[in-house]
Structure 1
């Protein structure tokens, strides 16, 4: 038995939580959109991530129940930087996502 096997057997299984991916399009890059998302997520105590995509969209991952995600998405357009504008949001449930503890802006 190697040292790594010993730790693997003693480690706790990963805790999976409900998570949602939101692809947002519009004027969402270069206008403070990711920081608006992070500020709202922090205010609502929702862990997750936000990152720019090469195609000009932004991906948001939220770990919360569907009701809280719906509330976040309803509030988001009212909490944007003044230069950002959302034209579309596509939401899908993610499977087997390990628990996050905070919200992070990814680069």
Structure 2
């Protein structure tokens, strides 16, 4: 399963990308995360569907007290065969 996410809120300059990467690795998920110029964060994650759902629950709550997630746009895609999770 592969999900493409665009996350808005207070998500830049608060450790979101590195927290997203660490949590993805805990859930044994692969993909990438990067900041966008408009202040949102773009993320692509793939792996087991149950693990992705658990990961997205954590993501919605923010990974630390400085992160505030207001909205997540979610698109399902075909798997691309990532073998790690990276910050771009």
User: 1:49–1:105: 8 Å Cα contact kept in structure 2?
Assistant: yes
Q: Is the counterpart of residue 23 in structure 1 residue 11 in structure 2?
A: no
Q: 2:30 aligns with which of 34, 47, 55?
A: 47
Shift of 1:78: 4.6
- In the alignment, what sits opposite 2:42? 59
Root-mean-square deviation (Å): 1.5
Instruction: Say which structure is richer in helix.
Output: 1
- Of stretches 68-77 and 28-37 in structure 1, the one that deviates more from structure 2 is 68-77
Q: Is the 8 A contact 1:20 1:62 kept in 2?
A: yes
- Whether the aligned pair in 2 keeps the contact of 1:49 and 1:61 (CA below 8 Å) is yes
TM-score normalised according to structure 2 size: 0.89
Aligned residue pair count: 88
- Residue in structure 1 matched with residue 53 of structure 2 by the alignment: 70
Mapped contact 1:48–1:62 kept (Cα < 8 A):
yes
Q: TM-score, normalised by structure 1?
A: 0.74
- Select the structure of larger CA radius of gyration: 1
In structure 2, stretches of 5+ residues that fail to align are: none
**The residue matched to 2:24 in structure 1 has which SS?**
helix
Structure 1 residue ranges without an equivalent (≥5): 1-17
Quick one: distance in 2 between partners of 1:78 and 1:21?
Answer: 18
Moved over 6 A (4+): none
Is 1:103 aligned with 2:85? yes
